Amino acid sequence: MVDICCEELEKIDMKLNVMKSQVVRIGRSHSKAENNIVIGDKTVSYVDELTYRMVYFVSKCLSY
């Protein structure tokens, strides 16, 4: 799916900046190991939390 997105972005003269990209898994399976996502020859890093446009994302499943 990532390859398809990169191909479509390339068609409109855009590309992903892998150095600024991160992956966060949200929910019960947040700690489950997954395959690496590779764009070109670079691997996108998995993180437990990130901020995007002043919105804070956390991978953990919170219990109340």
pLDDT bracket for residue 63 (50, 70, 90)? low
Pair of tokens at residue 20: 């600024």
For residue 24, the tally of other CB atoms under 10 A from its CB is: 15
Structure tokens at 63: 């219990």
For the segment 25-41, what is each residue's pLDDT rounded down to a tens digit? 777 777 776 778 888 88
Report pTM. Answer: 0.58
Confidence of residue 12 (pLDDT cuts 50, 70, 90): very high
Domain boundaries, the chain: 17-64
What pairing do the DSSP bridges indicate for beta strands 42-47 and 22-24?
parallel
Q: How many C-beta atoms lie closer than 10 Å to residue 8's C-beta?
A: 10
Cα separation, 11 vs 8, in Å, equals 5
